[in-house]
Amino acid sequence: MNRFVRLFGTTVAVSLLSATFVFAEYAEAPVSGGGTVSGKINFKGAQPAPMKFDLNKFPQAKFCSQVDSEGTTRLRQDVKVKGGVLSDVVVYITNIEKGKPFKPETTKVVADNCRFLVDGGPSKSVGVVVKKGEISFTNHDADPSEEKSKEGVLHNPHGYEIVGAKSTTTFNKPLPKKGQTITEKIKPINFKKEGSFMKVECDQHNYMNVWFLPIENPYYAVVGEDGTFSIGDVPAGKYKLIAFHPSLGFQEKEIDVAGGGKVAADFEFAPK
Domains of the chain (ranges, CATH numbers): 26-269 (2.60.40.420)
Q: What is the pLDDT of residue 24?
A: 67
User: In a 3-state reduction of DSSP, which class is residue 64?
Assistant: helix
Nearest to 138 by CA among 115, 105, 160: 115
Q: What is the pLDDT of residue 3?
A: 46
Nearest to 212 by CA among 114, 110, 123: 123
Q: What is the pLDDT of residue 51?
A: 98
Q: Please list the ranges in the chain whose pLDDT falls under 70.
A: 1-24
Nearest to 111 by CA among 183, 197, 210: 210
